[in-house]
Amino acid sequence: MTKIPNILLIYTGGTIGMIKDYKSNALKAFDFDQIKEKIPELNLLDCVIQTISFDNPIDSSNMSPKYWVKIAKIIEKHYHKIDGFVVLSGTDTMSYTASAISFMFENLSKPVIFTGSQLPIGDLRTDAKENLITAIQIAATRDGDLPKIGEVCLYFEYKLYRANRTTKVSASQFEAFNSPNYPELGESGVHLYFNNNVLKKVTQNKTLIVRKIFNTNIVILKLFPGINKEVVKSILEISDLKGVVLETFGAGNAPTSKWFINLIQKALKKNIAIVNVSQCINGSVLLGHYETSNHLKSLGIIDGKDITTESAIAKLMYLIGENIAQNKFKKLFETALRGEMS
């Protein structure tokens, strides 16, 4: 007899968990213990749904590593008795959160599906119901004795993505997310379709390891035409700075001014990890492809390849938190640990 999957729904906060009080016209937090009463279609799914909500749901803008750890601890606590997890959070920082969770779980063999909505669950035109129903259905999908998905994903508006490959691209459209440098893992239409060629292979012979330490002493330095020495110097000389996500032009290009090169070199000598990430949504850093990135390559800056800024932030916090030896750090960052880069 086929086992009915147990799915744990974790609500952290965000628009999806709000419902309108029609007397006051104000939005209030939704009680997910009554989820099947509000969305009776969930009764049609062939799975058991349990729910856990943060005692104090947080807005997406207040998301931080301490809440990433809280989410991870909930998953870790229930990992052996639950078959799949659906995490509901605010969309503005969802790509950061989902990317971070992907790095926290080593040897993950069960689905962790992030979703949310652009409109509250009680809104007439809400996208919350479809996103929630399908995310749960994906988490419950089996391939024989194994779950179909064994990684951290993000599902939104009919598309399933690898979480650490996503970025939010719209604040007003239902198609809020995109995966610019990696194919969609699946799509919801009349039937659920999975792109088996790009799914992570699910194996269950390794012990789950949960990493819970992040170092937040990092910064994003976005280059722009006319950026001056004082600005770059003030950022790179921040006290106790450990890492920089350097958002460069095009294929990883940056100014060749002597002052810029000297400041980068000085930071690297202080063992500050600097990752070169392109400002372009699509494409990859190609260090050395143009003269304007040759100097960065010769300095030994980390090649971010086609990683998103969100994923680079999470990966940098994670690896610095792991106290990786300096002579191994660059090679490890440039290695795809959870499918986050090509």
Could you give the residue numbers annotated as active site? Answer: 15
E-strand stretches of 95-168: 105-106, 112-115, 142-143, 146-147, 152-156, 159-162, 167-168
Decide: helix, strand or coil at residue 305: coil
Half-sphere exposure of 195 (CA within 13 A, CB side): 12
Decide: helix, strand or coil at residue 235: helix
**Distance between CA atoms of 102 and 245, rounded to whole angstroms?**
19
Q: Which two tokens stand for residue 170?
A: 């719209």
Strands 84-88 and 112-115, sheet pairing: parallel
CB atoms within 10 A of CB 209: 11
**Distance between CA atoms of 138 and 120, rounded to whole angstroms?**
22
Decide: helix, strand or coil at residue 63: coil
